[in-house]
Amino acid sequence: MSKRVESSTDGSDLRIGIVVAKFNEFITDKLLEGAEEGLAGCGVSADAITIASVPGSFEIPVVASKMASSGVYDAVICLGAVVKGDTDHYEFVAKEAANGIAQVALKYGVPVVFGVLTTHTVQHALDRAGGRKGNAGHSCALTAIETANLIRNLS
């Protein structure tokens, strides 16, 4: 008979790190607000959350790595907003942020949740930061909690 390992959205005993980019702050502030609401709604206390602000999305992986390797956090949420412009800069930043975040999660075995919006317009980003498409920050909070609990249950 197979064994099924379940997760839960109970975050009452979890410690969460959040790395949030200051670039496009009018968007990332909304993502952060959504993440904090999601965490609180699942029982994560405010004193169990550490928020680190970085200049932009490119800098997220190095700080996420520091948090994930510390042994302090059960999960790390990465929040940013990269909006396509007239140059190739968007492609480089978005790709390296995504690759770096994925590498951190695999290296340390800690859930490192990708909450970096990569959109073609500011409006698309706002739609995903509390607008008509919901709040990606809130979704990331739930993902972090469920994945951290699943990893605990696998141990």
DSSP state of 74: S
What confidence category does residue 31 fall into, taking pLDDT thresholds of 50, 70 and 90? very high
- Name the CATH architecture for the domain at 16-154: 3-Layer(aba) Sandwich (3.40)
pLDDT at 90 over 90: no
Q: Which tops the pLDDT comparison, 77 or 87? A: 77
Residue 89 annotated among the catalytic residues of the structure: yes
Mean pLDDT of the chain: 96
According to the model, what pLDDT value does residue 89 have? 85
pLDDT at 88 over 90: no
User: Mean pLDDT over residues 115-119, rounded?
Assistant: 97
Question: Which residues have C-beta within 8 Å of that of residue 28, sequence separation ≥ 6?
Answer: 20, 21, 22, 79, 80, 81, 129
Q: State the catalytic residue, choosing from 89, 120, 124, 138.
A: 89
Integer Cα distance of 88 and 113 in angstroms: 25
Residue 52, φ and ψ in degrees, nearest 5: -115, 125
What is the residue type of 113?
Answer: V
pLDDT at 27 over 90: yes
Domain ranges of the chain: 16-154
Q: Are 136 and 128 contacting, i.e. CB atoms less than 8 angstroms apart?
A: yes
pLDDT at 78 over 90: yes
DSSP state of 21: E
Integer Cα distance of 77 and 50 in angstroms: 10
What confidence category does residue 86 fall into, taking pLDDT thresholds of 50, 70 and 90? confident
User: Mean pLDDT over residues 111-123, rounded?
Assistant: 97
Integer Cα distance of 109 and 41 in angstroms: 25
pLDDT at 1 over 90: no
Q: Which tops the pLDDT comparison, 130 or 1? A: 130
User: Mean pLDDT over residues 116-141, rounded?
Assistant: 96
